[in-house]
Amino acid sequence: MDIKELLTPDFAITWLPWAVQYFFLIGLAYTSVWIAAIAVLWPGQRQQRLLTLCGSLIFSAAIVAPVALLADLHQPLRAWHFYMQLRPDSWMWFGAWLLPVFMGSGLLFGYLLLRPSLPTTATDRWSQLGCWLRFGRWSEKPLLKPVAVLAFLSACSIALYTGIETMAVQARPLWHSHWLPPLFAASALLAGSGMLVWLNFLFKGHNTNTDRYLLLWLRAAFTLFGLLLIGWALAGGKSAAEARMLLSHSPTWQLAAIWVLSTLAVLALLLATSRQPHWLLLLAGFAAVHLAWGFRWLVLIQAQTDPKYGAGTYFYELPWGPEGLLGILGTFGLWLALITLISELVRQTAMTQEGAA
């Protein structure tokens, strides 16, 4: 018996590109907390350059991510409603509590990481602001380790809740898989280390040791992501079956698969090269960031075009306005402004360190 749909309504997506921005930016924040915390806690790994870069990324991403999340609520001014009752069955409700804790611990950790790089003497306006942000003369050293532990745990809670919140939706077979949370986390780690490679290049005082260290992270994250993806494809149950079904008839999904596979192949080649010229590493960093963002786009936006009852796929066309392109560019713009500001504040110490070296 053949069934042909003649008349069924189209269905607009509900989670907008803001959600992709949130998942992407919060991924940058929690993975840079991981990288920095491990560097702080692991004996012999502490490298001020890496810590400064992580601090900048944590600080900027952890501030912009919640803005994107708030924008994805269609009634952002009602966000306080989350806190007015107990909803222990809802992972989103847990997230509403875990996120502010992460903002607190992550931003404090980021600040402690950045503080040694803030200027000590005021020579111009920027350095004056930097001096002022040191909040007096005290040493952050004794605080660093306990705050690192706290921020690390809090970062884990964010990785956990963002993953499970999505995985919990049984009505979307593509999401309802245990492979999804670790895939989100591994791709976030890819994006985090890739972005740090770029910050190392863009912030004054490029350090090749930091590059070498970040390359290790990139390779580890890539291997993890690749293995998880293979695991999902082979043992992903209904989630993988749904993806195969979509691949069999939807040109958009076929294109997506080609994109994922070719990005993975390029990244594998770039990371496998043993003697990495700097530009190759930068390219790998870019590919990693690109893969992680695109993965979130596929999972969060494109998966919503998969009808729950009907055949085929729904339409989605990226709108120009705040609910589409403008929202994406706006969040990136805000993040860029913040990270530029931070880079200006830590610039002078990079210069003096360079002079001293």
Partner 1 sequence: MDTSKRRLLGQIAAITAGAVFIPLAEADGDSTPTKGKRYGMLIDLRRCVGCQACTVACTIENQPPLGQFRTTVNQYEVTEGDNSAFMMLPRLCNHCENPPCIPVCPTGATFQRQDGIVVVNNDWCVGCGYCVQACPYDARFLNHETNTADKCTFCAHRLDAGLLPACVETCVGEARIIGDLNDPDSRISQLLTQHRNDIKVLRPSMGTQPRVFYLGMNQAFAERIRGEAPVRTLMTASGKELHHGH
In the complex, which residues of this chain contact partner 1 (CB under 8 A)?
Answer: 1-12, 14-15, 72-76, 78-79, 81-82, 84-85, 87, 89-93, 95-96, 165, 168-172, 304, 307-315, 317
Both tokens assigned to 150: 């706290």
Whose Cβ is closer to partner 1: residue 323's or residue 344's? 323
Whose Cβ is closer to partner 1: residue 218's or residue 300's? 300
Whose Cβ is closer to partner 1: residue 145's or residue 249's? 249
3-state secondary structure of 81: helix
DSSP string, 178-242: TTHHHHHHHHHHHHHHHHHHHHHHHSSS--HHHHHHHHHHHHHHHHHHHHHHHHHHHH-HHHHHH
Least CB distance from residue 291 to partner 1, whole Å?
24
Whose Cβ is closer to partner 1: residue 69's or residue 188's? 69
Least CB distance from residue 169 to partner 1, whole Å?
5
Whose Cβ is closer to partner 1: residue 12's or residue 258's? 12
Least CB distance from residue 12 to partner 1, whole Å?
7
Q: How many other C-beta atoms lie within 10 A of the C-beta of residue 321?
A: 9
Least CB distance from residue 349 to partner 1, whole Å?
42
User: For residue 53, what are the CA distances in angstroms to 23, 77, 88, 218, 349?
Assistant: 20, 33, 37, 16, 13
Least CB distance from residue 277 to partner 1, whole Å?
44
**Sign of torsion over alpha carbons 261, 264, 269, 272:** negative
- At 127, which helix (H) or strand (E)? helix 125-133
Least CB distance from residue 18 to partner 1, whole Å?
11
3-state secondary structure of 152: helix
136 conformational bin, left if phi > 0, alpha if psi -120 to 50, beta if neither? left
Whose Cβ is closer to partner 1: residue 100's or residue 310's? 310
Q: How far apart are CA 85 and CA 87, in angstroms?
A: 6
Q: 292 near 191, Cβ under 8 Å?
A: yes
Residue with tokens 């190759």: 280
Whose Cβ is closer to partner 1: residue 90's or residue 223's? 90
Least CB distance from residue 151 to partner 1, whole Å?
25
